[in-house]
A and B are shown apart, each in its own frame.
Chain A
Amino acid sequence: MVFDSLSYFLFFFLVIILNYCTPLQYRWVLLLIASIFFYSYTNPVYLIVPLFISLFTYSAALQIEKANTHTKKQWVFIIAVVINAGLLVFFKYSNFFSNLLFDGLNFLNGRFAHSGELYKNDLLIKIIAPLGISYIIFQAIGYLIDVKNGNQLAEKNIGYFTTYILFFPKLIAGPVEKESLFLPQISKTPVFRYDDISVGLKRVIWGLFKKLVIADRLSIYVNAVYNNFEHHSGATLAIAAFFYTFQLYADFSGYTDMALGFAKMLGFDLMENFNRPFLAKSVTEFWRRFHMSLSSWFNEYFYTPLSIAKRDWGKWGAVYSLFITFIILGFWHGANWTFIIFGILQGCILSIEFFTRSMRKTVRKKIPAFLNTIAGIVFTISYYTFSLIFFRSGSVMDALHYIKRLFSSRGSVFIENPSIMLFSLMGIFFLAIVECKKEYWNELFTLSNNRNWIVRNCYYCFLLLVILIAGVFDGGEFIYFQF
């Protein structure tokens, strides 16, 4: 079930009614049943893995807390993390690693090549990774680390914990929610609050707008070009690359807006995931504004411990930690070298920005502030767009060919259907206006939060109208569902 489908809206309508009619002690039961139904809507078999992770992590955390010696605590923790991470590796990366292993064997021993191929084909497993497994496991691992470090008490109520892991608005593509923020909200009395419904509903409409009007519209052009990039001019490839940047953002932030909106309507506050990342003046700042819940997870549980461990290396320790963190973050997206290169590219630019921080500060003082801002934004978007070529391409070779053609192939811009191009440009323009307004002129006249409710209603009516006129109702799933 996807957020932008009518079946989901009917499902949610039922859940929200029941949510406010159910007594507090049974609220988690309702949310758990709803989440289980949501997850197993297409195939109940998919539920086995997330349920196992929830139950296993729940028991492991209790064992960690109960352990009377440090060694025992350490061992239970290691086993629990290894099993969770092992599941992630099995479902997402087993074919990648088996490919790597047999390619390596073929390379080392020519005579082994034939039999190697045979084994490789035999070993490739048809695995369907459960939706949102990365998000589920990251939450589980984060929880285990917090319990082990004593930052969080192990949850005693198995129902509460399973609801935390499987809560349907955040189940498939995050945000990666911290247990310390979520668990206390389950036991809170579900009081009907006008503002929760109103704010949540508005957020859902805005998310729907981003997904249907902007992301899915851009995807038509992006898919047409990326699927046949060898036949397109450099100008077309550049436009498609920029369109993909905005598609990815509109798609993912649109999903997040909907997730946060639906959760809000149920009385839950989830973490913010985006803070206008394309208005960041450097790539470092960009990563503080983009996919914030995942970035902060990596920062808290990976980068910080690693850089503390390497503090003897001085600046190089920080750079090393940065690099490793972003390689893993890239690899987290999927079992493909393209994602690893995407991560390396981020690591490179962040290291450069780290070393040139003081120099850039000096230069900035000599340039007018607005020029500095514009140059920073243009550079950040361009660099991120460039790295996304790897992210979007099917293979590294495809990405390299794409880049080669981008700079070498001349010709006219591909416009198969002018209305798609017009709708796409209008969508980006509208998104840019809204984001810039929020960033720089937030106190100025506002439509979405206008004091006059008629103006507010007209604004949201306008958004729904544009969705009906220009939304793409046959668009695909959310991009981040695959991760």
Chain B
Amino acid sequence: MIEPLKKIFKRRSFPYLFFKIAVFFILLFLVDFFVGNIFKHFFFKQTSGWEYRTKYSIEDTKADILIFGASRAQQQYNPVYFEERLNETCYNVGRDGEPIFYSYAVLQAILQRYKPKIIIFDVDNAVFMEKQSSYDRIAALLPFYEKHPEMRSVIELRGPFEKLKLQSHIYPYNSLLFKIAMGNTEFNKKRNVDIKGYVPLSNSLNEPIRKVDLSSKYPIDSNKVNCYKSFINDCIKANVKLYLVSSPYFFQSTGSDTSIALAKKIANEKNIEFIDFSKDGFFKSNSKLFDDTVHVNFAGSTIFCNRLIDTLISRDHYKTVKISNDIK
């Protein structure tokens, strides 16, 4: 029995090579499984940091009002004001640098758990612009691929081999080693200012307003447009009141941004209100309210949030919700 095997696995023969490669991959698979599960354990145990906020948004929040978007959501909408004035719980699920894919995937996961009352979605200029980095950014959702099948269709947009890559247990936690380590420390909790998902900005811009031409055309990503449409449809289907908001900018724009025009058109077709603060004269005349030309700072956020809340209160829907809550 052993002699024929010895013959087959003669040193430096093809079957010998095959055997050694197989052993190597088994070893790699075991290490990948073991290390990947350690990462998984500590990832979901984090108590602070960006990854924690994403995890909290997807798996824990039960807030009545949710704010979606990228940096202009995360750094401009302070949930405290919404809670104080509207008497509802609020959480900011926005994440800096994340494209609409992220917002849509997070919404999918949230709607599996519960139905928020109101969703505010900050629609940014160039939100539908075609760029590869938007697909790279979906990486933030990789750790949730296994646990959340509802997010898989979005995550798989990253590339044709994403499903294959995700067979690895470590791959979803790629580049997160130090973030996970930090997210599990008390020190990081103190270091990171996080007001229910809102990250205030402290810089104060001191420069005259510039003119920016927004009329130039750029390629539109149909995946992004579809995500936007699906975001609206899912909110309608779940009977969640959706407000699309374009927050203030500190530049004088000429022409209109292609994405914003398209977003408004779609919102109009779906009968969803689009609240536009991007050309609000009050903000244009006060650079001190901005951290940079596209983000208001903490002071600016206070004013912006209150003005937005005023708008929401003035809407019939909100009045109806308020009255029914009061009766209860």
Which of the 9-residue segments A46-54, A302-310, A453-461 touches chain B?
A: A453-461
User: Which residue from chain A places its CB closest to the CB of B14 in the assembled complex?
Assistant: A192
CB <8 Å contact, B24 and A194: no
Cβ-based interface call for B327 (8 A): no
Closest to A20 in B: B14
* Residues on the B chain within 8 Å of A422, using CB: 178
In Å, the complex CA distance between A419 and B176 comes to 8
Residues of chain A within 8 A (CB-CB) of B11 are 194
Residues A473 and B31 in contact, CB atoms below 8 Å apart: no
CB within 8 A of B17: which of A198, A461, A468?
Answer: A198
CB distance from A469 to the nearest CB of B (A): 6
* Number of chain B residues whose Cβ lies closer than 8 Å to a Cβ of chain A: 32
Q: A419-B178, A419-B179 are in contact. Are A461 and B27 (CB under 8 A)?
A: yes
User: Is A186 interfacial (CB 8 A cutoff)?
Assistant: no
A419 x B24 contact (CB < 8 A)? no
Considering only CB atoms, which chain A residue lies closest to B35 in the complex? A465
Question: Using an 8 Å CB-CB cutoff, how does the interface string of A168-209 with B read, 1 for contact, 0 for none?
Answer: 000000000000000000000000111101100000000000
Which of A193, A194, A473 is the one whose CB lies under 8 Å from B174? Answer: A473
Q: Is the CB of A474 within 8 A of B177?
A: no
Chain A residues, CB < 8 A from B168: 468
The reply on A62 being an interface residue by CB < 8 A is no
The closest CB in chain A to the CB of B139 belongs to A474
CB-defined interface of A323-350 with B at 8 Å, one 1/0 digit per residue?
Answer: 0000000000000000000000000000
Neighbouring B residues of A396 by C-beta, 8 Å: none
Closest chain B residue to A464 by CB distance? B28
User: How many angstroms between the C-alpha atoms of A192 and B17 in the bound complex?
Assistant: 11
Closest chain A residue to B181 by CB distance? A419
Interface of B is mostly: helix
Q: Is B35 a contact of A6 with CB atoms below 8 Å? A: no
Q: Is the CB of B12 within 8 A of A468?
A: no
**B13 near A: Cβ within 8 Å?**
yes
Check A419–B14 contact: CB distance below 8 A. Answer: no
- Tell me which residues from 148 to 195 in chain B have a Cβ below 8 Å from any Cβ of chain A: 160-161, 164-165, 168, 170-171, 173-179
A418 CB-CB contact with B under 8 Å? yes
A225 to chain B, nearest CB (A): 18
Q: Is B145 an interface residue (CB 8 A)?
A: no
Answer yes or no: B136 CB below 8 A from chain A CBs: yes
Query: Is the CB–CB distance between A418 and B178 below 8 Å?
Result: yes
A6, A193, A465: the one within 8 Å of B164 (CB): A6
Contact of B175 among A197, A460, A464, A472 (CB under 8 A): A472
Decide if A471 is an interface residue (CB 8 Å cutoff): yes
Contacts of A423 on B, CB cut-off 8 Å? 175, 177-178
Is the CB–CB distance between B177 and A419 below 8 Å? yes
A470 at the interface (CB under 8 A from B): yes
Cross-chain contact A194 with B16 (CB below 8 angstroms): yes
CA distance A422 to B175 in the complex (A): 11
CB-based contact B171/A195 at 8 Å: no
CB proximity of A287 to chain B, nearest CB, Å: 35
Whether B32 is near chain A, meaning CB under 8 Å from some CB there, is: yes
| Residues A467-483 near B (CB distance < 8 A) | 468-474
Closest partner residue, chain A, to B28 (CB atom): A461
* B residues 1-23 in Cβ contact with A at 8 Å: 11-14, 16-17, 20, 23
Listed residue (A194, A453, A472) with the most chain B CB atoms within 10 angstroms of its CB: A194
A457 in complex: contacting residue of B27, B174, B175, CB < 8 Å: B27
CB distance A461 to B175 under 8 Å? no
Q: Does A149 contact B (CB under 8 A)?
A: no
> Roughly how many angstroms separate A26 CA and B327 CA in the complex, as a whole number?
86
* A453 vs B179: C-alpha distance when bound (angstroms): 35
CB neighbours (8 Å) of B160 from chain A are 7
Q: CA–CA, A188 to B35, complex, Å?
A: 44
| Cross-chain contact A461 with B139 (CB below 8 angstroms) | no
The answer on a CB contact under 8 Å between B12 and A470 is no
A474→B176 CA distance, assembly (Å): 15
**Min C-beta distance of B293 to chain A, whole Å:** 14
B143: min CB distance to chain A, Å: 13
- Please give, as numbers and ranges, the residues of chain B lying within 8 Å of A418 by CB-CB distance: 178
With beta carbons under 8 angstroms apart, the residue of B14, B27, B174, B179 that contacts A468 is: B174
Residue in B28, B32, B176 whose Cβ sees the most chain A Cβ within 10 Å: B28
Q: Smallest distance from the beta carbon of B145 to chain A beta carbons, Å?
A: 14
Q: A461-B27, A461-B31, A474-B136 are in contact. Are A6 and B161 (CB under 8 A)?
A: yes
Q: How far is the CA of A427 from the CA of B13 in the complex (A)?
A: 36
Query: Scoring A residues 405 to 422 as 1 if CB is less than 8 Å from chain B, else 0, what string do you get?
Result: 000000000000011001
User: How distant is the Cα of A473 from the Cα of B20 in the complex, in angstroms?
Assistant: 27
- Interface pair A457/B24, CB less than 8 Å apart: yes
CB distance from B155 to the nearest CB of A (A): 14
CA distance A470 to B177 in the complex (A): 8
Interchain CB contact under 8 A, A461 and B24: yes
Chain A residues with Cβ under 8 A from B170's Cβ?
Answer: 465, 468-469
Least Cβ–Cβ distance between A345 and chain B, in angstroms: 34
| Residues of A close to B133: CB separation below 8 A | 474
CA gap between A458 and B12 in the complex, in Å: 20
Chain B residue, CB-CB nearest to A220: B175
Q: Which residue of A lies closest to B12 (CB)?
A: A194
The minimal Cβ–Cβ distance linking B81 to chain A, given in whole angstroms, is 29
Contacts of A474 in B (CB 8 A): 132-133, 136, 139
| Contact partner, A6, options B17, B165, B175, Cβ 8 Å | B165
Q: Which of A193, A469, A470, A472 has the most CB of B within 10 A?
A: A469
Residues of B close to A464: CB separation below 8 A: 28
Q: Quick one: given A192-B14, A460-B24, are A7 and B161 in contact (CB under 8 Å)?
A: yes
Chain A contact residues, CB within 8 Å of chain B: 6-7, 192-195, 197-198, 418-419, 422-423, 453, 457-458, 460-461, 464-465, 468-474
Lowest 6 CB-CB distances: which A-B pairs, in order?
A: A194-B12, A419-B178, A474-B136, A6-B161, A468-B170, A461-B28
Could you give 24 example pairs across A and B, Cβ below 8 Å?
A7-B160, A193-B12, A194-B11, A194-B16, A194-B17, A195-B12, A197-B17, A198-B17, A419-B178, A453-B20, A461-B24, A461-B27, A465-B28, A465-B32, A465-B35, A468-B32, A469-B35, A469-B170, A469-B173, A469-B177, A470-B174, A470-B177, A473-B165, A474-B133
Q: Add 10 more A-B contacts to A419-B176, A470-B174 (CB < 8 A).
A: A194-B13, A195-B12, A419-B175, A457-B23, A458-B27, A460-B24, A468-B170, A470-B175, A474-B136, A474-B139
